[in-house]
A and B are shown apart, each in its own frame.
Chain A
Amino acid sequence: MASSDAEPGFRERLSKLAGIKSLRGTKLPAELERLQRQLDRLTEEETEEEVWERVLLARDEDRPYTLDYVARIFGEFFELHGDRGRDDDSAIVAGLGTLDGKTVALIGQQKGRDLKERVARNFGMAYPEGYRKAMRVMELADRHSFPVLTLVDTPGAYPGVAAEQHGQGGAIARSQAVMARLGVPTVAVVIGEGGSGGAVALALADKVLMQENAMYSVISPEGCASILWRDASQAQKAAAAFKPDAAHCLELEVIDGIVPEPAGGAHTDHDLAAELLREAVTSAFAELEHVSPDDLRRARRAKFRAMGVLA
């Protein structure tokens, strides 16, 4: 369905993609290949089915999760547990690890690999306790000047009675407020599903990246369909309407860069996916390395302050 009027818009987008600073230094062939795939996508107005395939890719059960990356990109790693209040929420993993020899604080959402682990991790849907664990680890990082890396991968914050009673909305708001105050470099990468408030709670970062096949959205396609179309089975239509893919998020200036994945998707080669992620993350941190805490805060807040489109 290539249309010729899509062409100029695409050229503009492509040049934008090529200019992403945080991708400089990544391997050229991978980069070219990725741009080629991007070209194929953007020259054609995507069909609903194509958008939906990417949603499925972002949710693929074999896609690497936070702990798969932790095992591959960190040298030493020590996991930190508990929110120091009432619980340890295993939907969010936190810890200290070494990245290129330097200590970094990691916070990431973790889905489970098999049914037992999925239940234990609550399918990557955190309770307020999970966000409180994240906040206390961010504050720890701030005290010791450790950069913070967050890996976002959640269908959303858990919608349950206890989660509401324990203050889900307030926890998500405060987690963002803590991130807005940090004086250390922060990088967030959406590695799978960036579902709504539960995702943005960990993504108020200096650099927000998305993996090529990740999605980042205001609501799940199913949720959107059941509200606007009054029919959850219209999820494909909803997904096509709100454009949750990385290329569109970059175009809307919601994210700062796209992290390439192995051809076919991150699930086809965890080691290569991790290597590409490590390169993108280290080059993003390198850009932030010598910025003062005040300047980091100022630039971070100014970036989010500018988001949105007015008539």
Chain B
Amino acid sequence: MSSTPQGIDVSIEDKRVVAEQPPAKGHPNTCPGCGSHYRDDELVKHLRMCPHCGHHFPVRALERIAQLLDEGTFIEECADLRSADPLGFFDLRPYVERLAEAETSTGLGDAMVTGGGRIEGSACRLAVMDFAFMGGSMGSVVGEKFARACESATAAGVPLVSIAASGGARMQEGILALMQLPKTVCAVDELHDAGCALISVMTHPTTGGLLASFASLGDVLLAEPGALMSFAGPRVVQQTTKEKLPEDFGRAEQNLRFGHIDAIVPRGELRPTIARLLRLFGSCGQL
């Protein structure tokens, strides 16, 4: 279901776009940048970056946590939360069926994993998204997990590190999905009022409702190279405006140039960079 998720084109919605580009080579371990093909263990060893051209492949939530945290320090929280189907939503297939399938194929309860751990010795809380679970879409469970991660960080007096990868709000939960925007925004305001920092990392893609809520509210905003971070996706913009899109439309590089993020951090430098920020922010409100 998830392969290289390019061409995301949504405003605020779940996107389970199976990669439409590159057209011919659809295998998830084939680099869309240079066409090199890797075994899974090779990609894991290289943090899922192409050793040849530097392309950043998608990273699943648990693998990301393993990349970032000191070994053996992660303690998951709220793993038991599951989505309900408040609208009895049925498009081409029932929402409950899509949920069950996503859980089976990803082994996750929803599109976000939260918990606590240490990065180069500094304690933090983490909220890591997984694009493989229904396009990383944010419904009630993702909103709730993020809000609880804020509360957990506040209680422990440590910063929260958020790693986003999402097409936006989960359409199947209708207006309740939209309400996860204000919900997570309120949670960040509470976190900030308690003196705790939010470090937000945007990975490919961070679009729609994610960009329009907590992901944009970090004290420091980081992005991985080439990550698409736009409120509306390229296809929607093109269809609406008939404008010719710039080559780096909505990409991390454009966002850096226009002043919307603090830095682009290649994956290999992400752990030391976050560790440095955790040291600079210190444990909030506590010694």
Give per-residue flags for A209-243: 1 if the beta carbon is below 8 A from chain B beta carbons, else 0.
Answer: 00000001111000110011100000001100111
Q: Is the CB of A173 within 8 A of B216?
A: yes
| Interface residue total, chain A, C-beta cutoff 8 A | 54
Instruction: Give residues in B with beta carbon < 8 Å to A.
Output: 10-15, 81-84, 86-87, 89-92, 139-141, 143-144, 147, 169, 171, 173-183, 185-190, 207-209, 211-217, 229-232, 236-237, 240-241, 243, 245-246, 249-250, 254-255, 258-260
6 contacts between A and B (CB under 8 A): A156-B11, A169-B208, A180-B182, A201-B212, A242-B89, A242-B174
Contact residues of A between 74 and 115, Cβ < 8 Å to B: none
Contact, CB under 8 Å: B186 / A304: yes
Instruction: Write out the residue numbers on chain B whose beta carbons fall within 8 Å of the beta carbon of A254.
Output: 175-176, 179
* Contact A252-B189, Cβ < 8 Å, known A173-B213, A305-B147: no
CB-based nearest B residue for A298: B190
Interface residues of A (CB under 8 A from B): 156-157, 159-161, 163-170, 172-174, 176-177, 180-181, 196-197, 200-201, 203-204, 216-219, 223-224, 227-229, 237-238, 241-244, 248-249, 252, 254, 300-301, 304-305, 307-311
- CB of A229 within 8 A of CB of B182, answer no
Contact status A160-B180, CB under 8 Å: no
Closest to B232 in A: A159
Among A164, A200, A252, A305, max chain B CB count under 10 A is at: A164
Q: Binding site of A, secondary structure by majority: helix, strand, loop or mixed?
A: helix
How distant is the Cα of A170 from the Cα of B214 in the complex, in angstroms?
Answer: 9
- Contact residue among A157, A161, A229, A252 (Cβ-Cβ distance under 8 Å from B176): A252
Give which listed residue, B84, B179, B186, B217, contacts A310 with CB less than 8 A.
B84
Measured CB to CB, the closest approach of chain A to B249, in angstroms, equals 7
Question: What is the bound-complex CA distance between A307 and B182, given in angstroms?
Answer: 9
A19 to B254, alpha carbons, bound, how many Å? 50
- Interface residue from A227, A241, A249 paired with B175 (Cβ < 8 Å): A249
